Structure 1
């Protein structure tokens, strides 16, 4: 048996309030009667059960498993404090909706109404049977559990070589005119290891530009990370043969290493980036 608390706001603050009259909504009468006294919820009994904390919705909203630690009735509300179990990965509402029969969540507007229900289902057994374990995490660098993409951040991956400074400055200046921020890894020093700065920059970026000129292995590695993280990647190069074989099916922007070539590159890049971000 488990508590299900559905709210229209997120679960980041550790405390919440719900109307007393909404406790036991979408709960079978034969269950709710066991947890009532004088027609009010017996909170101590409810607190002994695990809890599924959900936002309203059936899509990419994130649900958590945890425990209601304290609760009391104040006027017409139940005020409660809770904790999230860090050992259980967050679950998408879409997954819960797909499994709503197994979780006894088949009634009407249950996914779109604030309420506190009680379900006669073994929540942990359900999780063990259906929720996939977290994939193995990288050991060379760290990535956060959830994305935090900066809408105006464009990162540029290119060799750490002064020969590419003019290209980078040209790209940076052009993007600034669109109100976009352009950075490359040597602009920052946030971590002890440069690879962590590179990965963190890619992970925060809306678009990643990779200059394959000279077939630099670091740039190839960074392009692979960007693709794996699902970022929009724009390949540029001074020669077609600089594009690695495995990526030659993708369109790229070829440019000449002179003032006119860099100017033409920035025009082509801006057009592509505007298409991607809808500026």
Structure 2
């Protein structure tokens, strides 16, 4: 018979190959996990969360208030790590907060090593980072290519910083979905 072929069905066979390995060869690589702190394989970003990384010093209380006002103005909410206690190790709370945040604000005033470390974590996790400083000299060489908001620590300076920060947060919020 001339019509012995059946064109209406398919038959697939996998021979002499590890199918599991072949399928996962094209999967994106899993990021290498740090050993100093824990982090989720997949982030759970909260759309309205902004984390604030800054020195914990009473002198920064008015600065944090201005930042909080700017975040509120952008219709977002902000947290610092001292607002939570979820893990036994502080660094795990810091990383968890950064990892859940949509935006990370880092005040580099005084060249605080913790703030720089946290900015590096935020950059590594792909979060937008907004840098603040009272003195441009406090922004290190490796961060100078990033725009920052310089402010004066007086009533007018903090008000101007809050307005600029709010505008920046609204731009980020509108741009990233």
Q: TM-score range by the shorter chain?
A: 0.7 to 0.9
Alignment RMSD: 2.1
1:191-230 counterparts in 2 under 5 A?
191-230=87-126
Alignment partner of 1:187 out of 83, 86, 92:
83
* Structure 2 portions without partners, runs of 5+: 1-7
Cα shift readout 1:34-72 (whole Å, capped 9, x = no counterpart): xxxxxxxxxxxxxxxxxxxxxxxxxxxxxxxxxxxxxxx
Shift of the alpha carbon at 1:171? 1.3
Partner of 2:132: 236
Partner of 2:5: none
Cα shift readout 1:131-180 (whole Å, capped 9, x = no counterpart): 56534311111111111111111111001111111111121123223321
* Structure 1 portions without partners, runs of 5+: 1-26, 32-118
Q: Is 1:29–2:16 an aligned residue pair?
A: no
**How far apart in 1 are the matches of 2:133 and 2:101?**
20
**How far apart in 1 are the matches of 2:146 and 2:65?**
25
**How far apart in 2 are the matches of 1:269 and 1:133?**
36
> Is the 2:106–2:132 Cα contact (8 Å) retained in structure 1?
yes
Q: Is 1:256–2:158 an aligned residue pair?
A: no
1:55-134 counterparts in 2 under 5 A?
120=14, 122-127=18-23, 129-131=25-27, 134=30
Partner of 2:171: 275
Partner of 2:141: 245
Q: 1:243 to 1:30 in 2, by over 3 A?
A: closer
**How far apart in 2 are the matches of 1:278 and 1:131?**
31
**How far apart in 1 are the matches of 2:10 and 2:172?**
52
Between the two proteins, the alignment pairs up a number of residues equal to 166
* 1:29 match: secondary structure: coil
Partner of 1:149: 45
Alignment partner of 2:54 out of 133, 136, 158:
158
Per the normalisation by structure 2, the TM-score is 0.86
By percentage of residues, which structure has more helix?
2
**How far apart in 1 are the matches of 2:28 and 2:93?**
30
By percentage of residues, which structure has more strand?
1
* 2:106 match: secondary structure: strand
* 1:209 match: secondary structure: strand
